[in-house]
Amino acid sequence: MRVDSHMHTVLCGHAIGAPIEYATAAVEQGIDVMTFTCHIPMEWKAFGQAGIRMRRDQLDHYRQLVHDTAVQAKPLGVEVLCGIEAEVYPDEARLEPMDEILAEYEWDFVLGSLHAQCQSYLIWLKENKIKDDYMRIDSYFRHLKDGAQSGRYDSMSHPDVIRTYGVVNEFNPAEHEAVIRDFLQAVVDEDVCMEINTSGLTKGDFEVHPDPLILDWASEMGVKLTIGSDSHRPHSVGQFFDTIQPMLHDKGFKDLHYFRGRKRLRIDMPTWD
Ligand SMILES: [Zn+2]
Ligand SMILES: [Zn+2]
């Protein structure tokens, strides 16, 4: 069985293609379950609005779109689930309107993302006088740890995205082992998941999120995984899964997880042989 638990719709304003095209692409990739996780509406403008995420008054449309796609995709043999990519942020007050959305609707899956490149986070770093790369990276993983402990999210997505988009000049996980392990331990203790996000292979340093060294620690510590292509176009569905999943298997990850109705489900790690 194969799953892809992170993809977007045109409603975010920076994705292309009809949702059914994503489903067709999933069929071609042999994927059995796919989860849309479009960017959650955020009230504070610094999180980005048009072109980044749908408006709050588009949520019903989003859910209908995913539901309609599920109906269309069922005869093709693909189950389509409705999730959302929520934000992680150090100032809890900024998350209150988002929490309302998480409570108001029944989601299959909630991702927790700290988009370090977003104005919102850059403002936080500035206000807290966190200037050098070392401090930025440490604070990023501390906030991810807080996110894992918040109970809001099912899986912590693209967990080292701070290394891309020029937020820091260099990212060497070995220099941040203690703080990264603290984050991983929180994921284990809170019994949530961490996401393997293959979109990292298409940007910046062309490496999977998180870095393979972090994956070694995660495997050793018993972290549970979800996997997502973070597709913003149909062609990307399941991207690099054929090489990344065998790599994960070699690192000792024998299971993969996905969520339906916020309930975690286990599958064998696909090996693609
Ligand atoms: Zn996006
Ligand atoms: Zn994201």
Which ligand is in closest contact with the Cα of 228? 2
For range 214-232, the mean pLDDT: 98
pLDDT band at 272 (very low <50, low <70, confident <90, very high): low
The 193-197 sheet, strands edge to edge: 3-4, 33-39, 79-87, 109-113, 155-156, 193-197, 224-228
Which ligand is in closest contact with the Cα of 164? 2
Does pLDDT of 165 surpass 80? yes
Ligand 2 centroid distance, CA of 111 (Å)? 9
**CB-based contact 144:158 (threshold 8 Å):** no
For range 28-48, the mean pLDDT: 97
Tens digits of per-residue pLDDT, 62-89?
999 999 999 999 999 999 999 999 999 9
User: What is the model's pLDDT at position 239?
Assistant: 97
Ligand 2 centroid distance, CA of 197 (Å)? 9
Which ligand is in closest contact with the Cα of 38? 1
**CB-based contact 208:201 (threshold 8 Å):** yes
**pTM value surpassing 0.95:** yes
**Token pair 């696909």 is at which residue?**
270
Q: What angle do CA 179, 229, 134 make, to 5 degrees?
A: 25
Ligand 2 centroid distance, CA of 46 (Å)? 15
Which ligand is in closest contact with the Cα of 113? 2
Ligand 1 centroid distance, CA of 26 (Å)? 19
Between these two residues, 204 and 101, which has the higher pLDDT value? 101
Ligand 2 centroid distance, CA of 156 (Å)? 10
Ligand 2 centroid distance, CA of 77 (Å)? 27
pLDDT band at 26 (very low <50, low <70, confident <90, very high): very high
Could you tell me the domains of the chain? 3-268 (3.20.20.140)
Which ligand is in closest contact with the Cα of 6? 2
For range 151-167, the mean pLDDT: 95
User: What is the model's pLDDT at position 273?
Assistant: 60
Ligand 1 centroid distance, CA of 7 (Å)? 8
Indicate the helix (H) or strand (E) that contains 101. Answer: helix 96-104
Tell me whether strands 79-87 and 155-156 are parallel, antiparallel or unpaired: unpaired
User: What is the model's pLDDT at position 107?
Assistant: 98
Which ligand is in closest contact with the Cα of 118? 2
Distance between CA 164 and CA 142 in Å, rounded?
Answer: 18
pLDDT band at 271 (very low <50, low <70, confident <90, very high): confident
Percentage of the chain beyond pLDDT 90 is: 97
For range 157-184, the mean pLDDT: 96
Does pLDDT of 29 surpass 70? yes
Ligand 2 centroid distance, CA of 154 (Å)? 14
Tens digits of per-residue pLDDT, 121-145?
999 999 999 999 999 999 999 999 9
Report CA-CA distances (Å) from 68 to 20, 22, 200, 270.
9, 13, 30, 28
pLDDT band at 203 (very low <50, low <70, confident <90, very high): confident
Select from 173, 183, 259, 262 the least CA-distant residue to 223: 183
Distance between CA 203 and CA 165 in Å, rounded?
Answer: 9
Ligand 1 centroid distance, CA of 90 (Å)? 21
Distance between CA 249 and CA 146 in Å, rounded?
Answer: 28
Percentage of the chain beyond pLDDT 70 is: 99
Ligand 1 centroid distance, CA of 8 (Å)? 7
